[in-house]
Amino acid sequence: MVTRSFPTKENDSAFAYFCLALYMALVLIRPHEIFAISREWILIKIVTIVCIIVTFVAHRPLKPTPQVWLLVALFPVILLSAFLNGYGMKGIEQSQLFLVGSLFPLFLTSTLVTSIKKHHIIMFISLIAALLMVHNGHVQVNNIDGLGWSGTTYNQERIRYLGFFHDPNDIGMFLIMNMPIAAYFFTQSKAMGKIFYFCSFIALLYGVYLTGSRGSILGTVGLVGVFLLVAKGGTKVLLFSVVVAPIAGTMIAAKGGMSSSNASANGRLEAWYSGLHEMFLSNPLFGIGKGNFVDWHGRTAHNSYIMVTGELGFLGYSLWAGALFMTILSGYYLVQKKKKLDMEKSKNVNQKKQNHPQQTYSLLEQELKLAACLFYSMVGYLLTAFFLSRSYTLLLFIFLGLNMASHSRLYKLDDDFKSKITMKYIAKSIIAGWLMVVLVYIALKVAL
Protein backbone atom coordinates (compact mmCIF):
# COMPACT_ATOMS: atom_id res chain seq x y z
CA MET A 1 0.00 0.00 0.00
CA VAL A 2 1.38 3.40 -1.02
CA THR A 3 0.97 6.19 1.55
CA ARG A 4 0.59 9.82 0.58
CA SER A 5 3.62 12.00 1.26
CA PHE A 6 1.67 15.26 0.86
CA PRO A 7 -1.15 16.49 3.08
CA THR A 8 -4.55 16.49 1.38
CA LYS A 9 -6.48 18.50 4.00
CA GLU A 10 -5.96 22.00 5.29
CA ASN A 11 -2.65 22.35 7.07
CA ASP A 12 -1.31 25.73 8.15
CA SER A 13 2.44 25.17 8.34
CA ALA A 14 3.91 27.13 11.27
CA PHE A 15 7.47 26.46 10.11
CA ALA A 16 6.75 27.78 6.60
CA TYR A 17 5.37 30.98 8.11
CA PHE A 18 8.40 31.28 10.40
CA CYS A 19 10.62 31.05 7.30
CA LEU A 20 8.53 33.76 5.64
CA ALA A 21 8.86 36.07 8.67
CA LEU A 22 12.62 35.45 8.70
CA TYR A 23 12.74 36.19 4.97
CA MET A 24 10.92 39.49 5.53
CA ALA A 25 13.38 40.50 8.24
CA LEU A 26 16.33 39.64 6.01
CA VAL A 27 15.12 41.48 2.89
CA LEU A 28 13.74 44.55 4.68
CA ILE A 29 16.06 45.03 7.68
CA ARG A 30 19.06 43.26 6.05
CA PRO A 31 20.96 42.70 9.34
CA HIS A 32 23.54 40.39 7.75
CA GLU A 33 24.76 43.21 5.48
CA ILE A 34 25.72 45.45 8.40
CA PHE A 35 28.81 43.37 9.23
CA ALA A 36 31.63 42.74 6.76
CA ILE A 37 31.99 39.08 7.80
CA SER A 38 28.39 38.20 6.84
CA ARG A 39 27.82 40.64 3.98
CA GLU A 40 28.40 38.03 1.28
CA TRP A 41 26.39 35.28 2.95
CA ILE A 42 23.50 33.96 0.84
CA LEU A 43 21.07 33.86 3.75
CA ILE A 44 18.17 35.29 1.75
CA LYS A 45 18.54 32.64 -0.97
CA ILE A 46 18.75 29.81 1.57
CA VAL A 47 15.71 30.97 3.52
CA THR A 48 13.74 31.49 0.28
CA ILE A 49 14.50 27.95 -0.94
CA VAL A 50 13.64 26.39 2.43
CA CYS A 51 10.42 28.40 2.64
CA ILE A 52 9.32 27.33 -0.86
CA ILE A 53 10.06 23.64 -0.20
CA VAL A 54 8.28 23.61 3.16
CA THR A 55 5.30 25.47 1.69
CA PHE A 56 4.81 23.00 -1.15
CA VAL A 57 5.33 19.97 1.11
CA ALA A 58 3.55 20.95 4.31
CA HIS A 59 1.12 23.81 3.67
CA ARG A 60 -2.41 23.34 2.38
CA PRO A 61 -4.37 24.59 0.60
CA LEU A 62 -2.24 25.98 -2.20
CA LYS A 63 -4.73 28.12 -4.09
CA PRO A 64 -3.09 30.98 -6.01
CA THR A 65 -5.25 34.08 -6.38
CA PRO A 66 -6.23 35.43 -9.83
CA GLN A 67 -3.50 38.10 -9.47
CA VAL A 68 -0.89 35.40 -9.00
CA TRP A 69 -2.02 33.66 -12.19
CA LEU A 70 -1.88 36.95 -14.10
CA LEU A 71 1.72 37.50 -13.00
CA VAL A 72 2.66 33.88 -13.63
CA ALA A 73 1.47 34.46 -17.21
CA LEU A 74 3.85 37.43 -17.34
CA PHE A 75 6.81 35.04 -17.01
CA PRO A 76 6.55 33.57 -20.57
CA VAL A 77 5.75 37.04 -21.94
CA ILE A 78 9.12 38.27 -20.64
CA LEU A 79 10.85 35.36 -22.38
CA LEU A 80 8.97 35.81 -25.67
CA SER A 81 9.50 39.56 -25.68
CA ALA A 82 13.25 39.11 -25.30
CA PHE A 83 13.57 36.40 -27.96
CA LEU A 84 11.50 38.34 -30.49
CA ASN A 85 13.78 41.35 -29.96
CA GLY A 86 16.99 39.31 -30.26
CA TYR A 87 17.83 39.34 -26.54
CA GLY A 88 17.38 35.63 -25.83
CA MET A 89 19.96 35.20 -23.07
CA LYS A 90 19.03 38.50 -21.46
CA GLY A 91 15.40 37.38 -21.50
CA ILE A 92 16.30 34.22 -19.61
CA GLU A 93 18.19 36.29 -17.06
CA GLN A 94 15.33 38.80 -16.69
CA SER A 95 12.72 36.05 -16.34
CA GLN A 96 14.80 34.40 -13.61
CA LEU A 97 15.05 37.71 -11.76
CA PHE A 98 11.29 38.12 -12.04
CA LEU A 99 10.68 34.60 -10.76
CA VAL A 100 12.96 34.94 -7.72
CA GLY A 101 12.43 38.61 -6.88
CA SER A 102 8.73 38.90 -7.69
CA LEU A 103 6.75 35.67 -8.09
CA PHE A 104 8.29 33.75 -5.17
CA PRO A 105 7.70 36.45 -2.51
CA LEU A 106 4.24 37.17 -3.97
CA PHE A 107 3.17 33.53 -3.81
CA LEU A 108 4.66 32.90 -0.37
CA THR A 109 3.16 36.01 1.19
CA SER A 110 -0.31 35.52 -0.30
CA THR A 111 -0.30 31.85 0.72
CA LEU A 112 1.25 31.77 4.20
CA VAL A 113 -0.22 34.87 5.87
CA THR A 114 -3.43 33.14 6.89
CA SER A 115 -4.64 35.18 9.87
CA ILE A 116 -4.83 38.72 11.20
CA LYS A 117 -2.15 37.91 13.78
CA LYS A 118 0.23 36.72 11.07
CA HIS A 119 -0.47 39.89 9.12
CA HIS A 120 0.37 41.94 12.20
CA ILE A 121 3.75 40.22 12.60
CA ILE A 122 4.80 40.89 8.99
CA MET A 123 3.50 44.45 9.15
CA PHE A 124 5.38 45.09 12.40
CA ILE A 125 8.61 43.77 10.84
CA SER A 126 8.02 46.15 7.93
CA LEU A 127 7.42 49.12 10.21
CA ILE A 128 10.51 48.37 12.34
CA ALA A 129 12.59 48.14 9.15
CA ALA A 130 11.27 51.54 8.06
CA LEU A 131 12.06 53.12 11.45
CA LEU A 132 15.59 51.68 11.39
CA MET A 133 16.13 53.29 7.98
CA VAL A 134 14.96 56.63 9.34
CA HIS A 135 17.25 56.35 12.38
CA ASN A 136 20.19 55.35 10.20
CA GLY A 137 19.44 58.36 7.98
CA HIS A 138 19.27 60.64 11.01
CA VAL A 139 22.69 59.40 12.12
CA GLN A 140 24.06 60.00 8.62
CA VAL A 141 22.78 63.57 8.56
CA ASN A 142 24.27 64.39 11.97
CA ASN A 143 27.60 62.65 11.40
CA ILE A 144 30.46 64.77 10.05
CA ASP A 145 31.49 62.13 7.53
CA GLY A 146 27.87 61.21 6.73
CA LEU A 147 28.31 57.62 7.89
CA GLY A 148 25.34 55.78 9.38
CA TRP A 149 25.45 52.85 11.78
CA SER A 150 24.62 50.54 8.85
CA GLY A 151 27.89 51.48 7.15
CA THR A 152 26.13 53.40 4.39
CA THR A 153 26.93 57.05 3.69
CA TYR A 154 24.81 60.16 3.31
CA ASN A 155 25.37 61.28 -0.30
CA GLN A 156 24.18 64.33 -2.23
CA GLU A 157 22.03 65.35 0.75
CA ARG A 158 20.03 62.11 0.52
CA ILE A 159 19.98 59.24 3.02
CA ARG A 160 20.92 55.68 2.05
CA TYR A 161 20.47 52.20 3.48
CA LEU A 162 21.50 48.64 2.65
CA GLY A 163 20.73 46.50 -0.39
CA PHE A 164 18.23 47.90 -2.86
CA PHE A 165 17.43 50.57 -0.26
CA HIS A 166 20.72 52.23 -1.20
CA ASP A 167 18.55 54.30 -3.54
CA PRO A 168 16.75 56.98 -1.45
CA ASN A 169 13.75 56.76 -3.80
CA ASP A 170 13.18 53.17 -2.65
CA ILE A 171 13.45 54.26 0.96
CA GLY A 172 10.88 56.99 0.34
CA MET A 173 8.45 54.57 -1.32
CA PHE A 174 8.85 52.11 1.55
CA LEU A 175 8.29 54.77 4.20
CA ILE A 176 5.08 55.93 2.50
CA MET A 177 3.77 52.36 2.26
CA ASN A 178 4.35 51.99 6.01
CA MET A 179 2.43 55.13 6.98
CA PRO A 180 -0.96 53.36 6.83
CA ILE A 181 0.54 50.55 8.92
CA ALA A 182 1.60 52.98 11.65
CA ALA A 183 -1.86 54.58 11.56
CA TYR A 184 -3.55 51.15 11.71
CA PHE A 185 -1.53 50.01 14.73
CA PHE A 186 -2.29 53.37 16.38
CA THR A 187 -6.03 52.65 16.18
CA GLN A 188 -5.52 49.10 17.50
CA SER A 189 -3.37 50.07 20.51
CA LYS A 190 -3.85 51.34 24.02
CA ALA A 191 -2.27 54.48 25.51
CA MET A 192 1.43 53.55 25.43
CA GLY A 193 1.07 51.89 22.07
CA LYS A 194 -0.65 54.95 20.64
CA ILE A 195 2.28 57.11 21.73
CA PHE A 196 4.75 54.77 20.04
CA TYR A 197 2.83 54.53 16.77
CA PHE A 198 2.10 58.26 16.65
CA CYS A 199 5.84 58.94 17.04
CA SER A 200 6.49 56.28 14.40
CA PHE A 201 4.22 58.09 11.94
CA ILE A 202 6.04 61.39 12.58
CA ALA A 203 9.37 59.60 12.12
CA LEU A 204 8.22 58.25 8.74
CA LEU A 205 7.36 61.77 7.61
CA TYR A 206 10.78 62.94 8.78
CA GLY A 207 12.37 60.07 6.86
CA VAL A 208 10.60 61.06 3.64
CA TYR A 209 12.04 64.55 4.07
CA LEU A 210 15.54 63.11 4.55
CA THR A 211 15.34 61.10 1.31
CA GLY A 212 15.19 64.32 -0.71
CA SER A 213 12.86 62.48 -3.09
CA ARG A 214 10.34 64.79 -4.72
CA GLY A 215 8.33 61.80 -5.85
CA SER A 216 8.08 60.58 -2.26
CA ILE A 217 7.00 63.99 -1.02
CA LEU A 218 4.30 64.17 -3.70
CA GLY A 219 3.35 60.58 -2.88
CA THR A 220 2.89 61.51 0.79
CA VAL A 221 0.68 64.47 -0.07
CA GLY A 222 -1.23 62.33 -2.56
CA LEU A 223 -1.78 59.55 -0.02
CA VAL A 224 -3.30 62.01 2.46
CA GLY A 225 -5.46 63.41 -0.35
CA VAL A 226 -6.72 59.96 -1.37
CA PHE A 227 -7.51 59.10 2.26
CA LEU A 228 -9.59 62.27 2.61
CA LEU A 229 -11.35 61.67 -0.70
CA VAL A 230 -12.23 58.07 0.16
CA ALA A 231 -13.21 58.88 3.74
CA LYS A 232 -15.12 62.11 3.14
CA GLY A 233 -15.78 62.46 -0.58
CA GLY A 234 -18.37 60.75 -2.73
CA THR A 235 -17.73 58.17 -5.42
CA LYS A 236 -18.22 60.71 -8.23
CA VAL A 237 -15.62 63.05 -6.73
CA LEU A 238 -13.18 60.16 -6.33
CA LEU A 239 -13.69 58.96 -9.91
CA PHE A 240 -13.11 62.47 -11.19
CA SER A 241 -9.91 62.69 -9.16
CA VAL A 242 -8.71 59.32 -10.48
CA VAL A 243 -9.16 60.53 -14.07
CA VAL A 244 -7.49 63.87 -13.38
CA ALA A 245 -4.57 62.46 -11.35
CA PRO A 246 -2.46 61.04 -14.26
CA ILE A 247 -2.92 64.26 -16.23
CA ALA A 248 -2.03 66.36 -13.18
CA GLY A 249 1.04 64.22 -12.51
CA THR A 250 2.22 64.71 -16.06
CA MET A 251 1.69 68.46 -15.84
CA ILE A 252 3.65 68.59 -12.55
CA ALA A 253 6.53 66.81 -14.23
CA ALA A 254 6.28 69.14 -17.21
CA LYS A 255 6.52 72.23 -14.98
CA GLY A 256 9.64 70.91 -13.27
CA GLY A 257 7.87 69.97 -10.04
CA MET A 258 9.71 66.64 -10.08
CA SER A 259 13.13 67.99 -11.03
CA SER A 260 15.61 70.64 -10.04
CA SER A 261 15.81 72.02 -13.58
CA ASN A 262 13.64 72.42 -16.65
CA ALA A 263 16.11 70.31 -18.64
CA SER A 264 15.66 67.43 -16.24
CA ALA A 265 11.87 67.82 -16.35
CA ASN A 266 11.91 67.80 -20.16
CA GLY A 267 14.13 64.72 -20.09
CA ARG A 268 11.60 62.92 -17.93
CA LEU A 269 8.74 63.78 -20.28
CA GLU A 270 10.81 62.75 -23.29
CA ALA A 271 11.45 59.39 -21.63
CA TRP A 272 7.71 58.91 -21.09
CA TYR A 273 6.97 59.89 -24.68
CA SER A 274 9.67 57.58 -25.98
CA GLY A 275 8.27 54.68 -23.97
CA LEU A 276 4.79 55.16 -25.40
CA HIS A 277 5.32 56.57 -28.87
CA GLU A 278 8.52 54.80 -29.93
CA MET A 279 8.84 51.59 -27.92
CA PHE A 280 5.20 50.62 -27.51
CA LEU A 281 3.91 51.70 -30.91
CA SER A 282 6.87 50.09 -32.70
CA ASN A 283 6.38 46.82 -30.78
CA PRO A 284 2.77 46.96 -29.56
CA LEU A 285 2.24 43.32 -28.65
CA PHE A 286 5.42 42.32 -26.79
CA GLY A 287 7.34 45.60 -26.38
CA ILE A 288 11.11 45.94 -26.63
CA GLY A 289 12.01 43.45 -23.90
CA LYS A 290 12.29 43.71 -20.12
CA GLY A 291 15.35 45.67 -19.03
CA ASN A 292 15.89 47.37 -22.38
CA PHE A 293 14.31 50.78 -21.73
CA VAL A 294 17.64 52.44 -20.91
CA ASP A 295 19.29 50.84 -23.95
CA TRP A 296 16.65 52.35 -26.22
CA HIS A 297 16.32 55.78 -24.68
CA GLY A 298 19.54 56.34 -22.74
CA ARG A 299 17.83 56.93 -19.39
CA THR A 300 15.24 55.17 -17.27
CA ALA A 301 11.52 55.86 -17.63
CA HIS A 302 10.92 57.44 -14.21
CA ASN A 303 7.42 55.98 -14.47
CA SER A 304 6.64 52.36 -13.58
CA TYR A 305 3.55 52.15 -15.79
CA ILE A 306 5.23 53.51 -18.90
CA MET A 307 8.28 51.33 -18.34
CA VAL A 308 6.19 48.14 -18.43
CA THR A 309 4.19 49.41 -21.41
CA GLY A 310 7.34 50.12 -23.41
CA GLU A 311 9.25 47.01 -22.39
CA LEU A 312 6.50 44.35 -22.45
CA GLY A 313 3.86 45.84 -24.75
CA PHE A 314 0.13 45.23 -24.65
CA LEU A 315 0.29 41.68 -23.31
CA GLY A 316 2.83 42.38 -20.59
CA TYR A 317 1.27 45.60 -19.34
CA SER A 318 -2.24 44.09 -19.37
CA LEU A 319 -1.09 41.26 -17.09
CA TRP A 320 0.99 43.48 -14.79
CA ALA A 321 -1.61 46.26 -14.56
CA GLY A 322 -4.44 43.74 -14.27
CA ALA A 323 -2.91 42.25 -11.12
CA LEU A 324 -2.13 45.68 -9.66
CA PHE A 325 -5.46 47.37 -10.37
CA MET A 326 -7.50 44.30 -9.47
CA THR A 327 -5.93 44.51 -6.01
CA ILE A 328 -6.58 48.25 -5.83
CA LEU A 329 -10.22 47.98 -6.96
CA SER A 330 -10.84 45.07 -4.57
CA GLY A 331 -9.30 47.08 -1.76
CA TYR A 332 -11.49 50.07 -2.57
CA TYR A 333 -14.60 47.88 -2.50
CA LEU A 334 -13.59 46.61 0.95
CA VAL A 335 -12.95 50.14 2.21
CA GLN A 336 -16.47 51.08 1.12
CA LYS A 337 -17.78 47.95 2.81
CA LYS A 338 -16.05 49.02 6.02
CA LYS A 339 -17.61 52.49 5.78
CA LYS A 340 -21.03 50.90 5.41
CA LEU A 341 -20.50 48.68 8.46
CA ASP A 342 -19.24 51.65 10.47
CA MET A 343 -22.40 53.59 9.58
CA GLU A 344 -24.59 50.66 10.59
CA LYS A 345 -22.71 50.34 13.87
CA SER A 346 -23.04 54.05 14.63
CA LYS A 347 -26.81 53.81 14.12
CA ASN A 348 -26.97 50.86 16.54
CA VAL A 349 -28.43 48.53 13.95
CA ASN A 350 -29.41 45.19 15.46
CA GLN A 351 -26.76 42.72 14.32
CA LYS A 352 -29.32 39.93 14.13
CA LYS A 353 -30.91 41.71 11.17
CA GLN A 354 -27.64 41.72 9.25
CA ASN A 355 -26.63 39.16 6.65
CA HIS A 356 -23.83 37.91 8.89
CA PRO A 357 -24.09 36.15 12.28
CA GLN A 358 -22.79 38.13 15.27
CA GLN A 359 -19.40 36.38 15.56
CA THR A 360 -18.81 36.51 11.80
CA TYR A 361 -19.81 40.17 11.77
CA SER A 362 -17.17 40.97 14.40
CA LEU A 363 -14.49 39.05 12.50
CA LEU A 364 -15.56 40.70 9.26
CA GLU A 365 -15.15 44.11 10.88
CA GLN A 366 -11.60 43.29 12.00
CA GLU A 367 -10.66 41.92 8.59
CA LEU A 368 -12.04 45.01 6.85
CA LYS A 369 -9.97 47.32 9.07
CA LEU A 370 -6.86 45.39 8.07
CA ALA A 371 -7.84 45.37 4.38
CA ALA A 372 -8.36 49.15 4.48
CA CYS A 373 -4.86 49.65 5.89
CA LEU A 374 -3.31 47.48 3.18
CA PHE A 375 -5.35 49.28 0.51
CA TYR A 376 -3.79 52.61 1.48
CA SER A 377 -0.32 51.04 1.45
CA MET A 378 -0.98 50.01 -2.15
CA VAL A 379 -2.19 53.53 -2.93
CA GLY A 380 1.18 54.72 -1.62
CA TYR A 381 2.88 52.51 -4.20
CA LEU A 382 0.46 53.56 -6.93
CA LEU A 383 1.30 57.24 -6.40
CA THR A 384 5.07 57.05 -5.99
CA ALA A 385 5.41 54.56 -8.84
CA PHE A 386 4.08 57.24 -11.18
CA PHE A 387 7.38 59.11 -10.79
CA LEU A 388 9.77 56.17 -10.27
CA SER A 389 10.85 53.15 -12.32
CA ARG A 390 9.84 50.53 -9.75
CA SER A 391 7.68 48.18 -11.80
CA TYR A 392 9.28 45.02 -10.42
CA THR A 393 10.42 46.16 -6.99
CA LEU A 394 10.22 43.59 -4.22
CA LEU A 395 8.12 46.03 -2.19
CA LEU A 396 5.31 45.87 -4.73
CA PHE A 397 5.06 42.09 -4.60
CA ILE A 398 5.33 41.84 -0.82
CA PHE A 399 2.46 44.28 -0.35
CA LEU A 400 0.46 42.73 -3.19
CA GLY A 401 0.82 39.41 -1.39
CA LEU A 402 -0.31 40.91 1.92
CA ASN A 403 -3.39 42.37 0.22
CA MET A 404 -4.20 39.09 -1.52
CA ALA A 405 -3.90 37.12 1.72
CA SER A 406 -6.32 39.53 3.39
CA HIS A 407 -8.74 39.37 0.46
CA SER A 408 -8.65 35.56 0.41
CA ARG A 409 -9.99 35.43 3.96
CA LEU A 410 -12.64 38.01 3.14
CA TYR A 411 -13.87 35.85 0.24
CA LYS A 412 -15.04 33.40 2.91
CA LEU A 413 -16.74 36.05 5.03
CA ASP A 414 -18.47 38.16 2.39
CA ASP A 415 -20.40 36.39 -0.38
CA ASP A 416 -20.90 39.69 -2.23
CA PHE A 417 -17.15 40.22 -2.43
CA LYS A 418 -16.55 36.66 -3.59
CA SER A 419 -19.14 37.02 -6.34
CA LYS A 420 -17.37 40.13 -7.71
CA ILE A 421 -14.19 38.28 -8.66
CA THR A 422 -15.04 37.23 -12.20
CA MET A 423 -13.39 37.45 -15.60
CA LYS A 424 -15.38 40.64 -16.18
CA TYR A 425 -13.84 42.13 -13.02
CA ILE A 426 -10.36 41.21 -14.22
CA ALA A 427 -11.12 42.84 -17.57
CA LYS A 428 -12.23 46.03 -15.79
CA SER A 429 -8.96 46.06 -13.86
CA ILE A 430 -6.94 45.79 -17.07
CA ILE A 431 -8.99 48.60 -18.64
CA ALA A 432 -8.35 50.78 -15.58
CA GLY A 433 -4.62 50.23 -16.04
CA TRP A 434 -4.77 51.21 -19.70
CA LEU A 435 -6.87 54.26 -18.90
CA MET A 436 -3.96 55.65 -16.89
CA VAL A 437 -1.56 55.13 -19.80
CA VAL A 438 -3.94 56.74 -22.31
CA LEU A 439 -4.44 59.78 -20.09
CA VAL A 440 -0.68 60.21 -19.67
CA TYR A 441 -0.20 59.99 -23.44
CA ILE A 442 -2.85 62.67 -24.01
CA ALA A 443 -1.22 64.91 -21.42
CA LEU A 444 2.19 64.38 -23.06
CA LYS A 445 0.79 65.43 -26.43
CA VAL A 446 -0.31 68.68 -24.81
CA ALA A 447 2.86 69.27 -22.76
CA LEU A 448 5.47 68.50 -25.45
The arithmetic mean of pLDDT across residues 392-417, rounded, is: 93
Residues 80-118 have pLDDT tens digits of 999 998 887 888 999 999 999 999 999 999 999 999 999
| Gap between the Cα atoms of 294 and 310, Å rounded | 11
- The pLDDT > 90 percentage for the chain reads 58
| Gap between the Cα atoms of 399 and 114, Å rounded | 15
Put residue 86 in one of left, alpha, beta given phi > 0 → left and psi -120 to 50 → alpha: left
Question: Which value, in Å, is the radius of gyration of the alpha carbons in the chain?
Answer: 22
Give CA 17 to chain center in angstroms.
20
Residue 359's pLDDT is: 53
Mean pLDDT estimate for the chain: 87
Indicate the domain borders of the chain: 11-60, 67-109+226-448, 122-212
Residue 3's pLDDT is: 41
| Gap between the Cα atoms of 95 and 74, Å rounded | 9
- The length of the chain in residues reads 448
Residues 152-182 have pLDDT tens digits of 998 878 999 999 999 999 999 999 999 999 9
Q: How confident is the model at residue 4 (pLDDT cuts 50, 70, 90)?
A: very low
| Gap between the Cα atoms of 34 and 44, Å rounded | 14
Residue 229's pLDDT is: 85
Q: Where are the alpha helices (DSSP H) in 255-303?
A: 262-273, 281-282, 293-297
| Burial 199-226, CB ≥16 within 10 A → b, else e | ebbebbbebbbbbebbbbbbbbebbeeb
Residues 324-353 have pLDDT tens digits of 999 999 999 999 888 888 777 776 545 454
Taking 80 as the threshold, does the pLDDT of residue 297 lie above it? yes
The arithmetic mean of pLDDT across residues 282-304, rounded, is: 89
| Gap between the Cα atoms of 188 and 180, Å rounded | 12
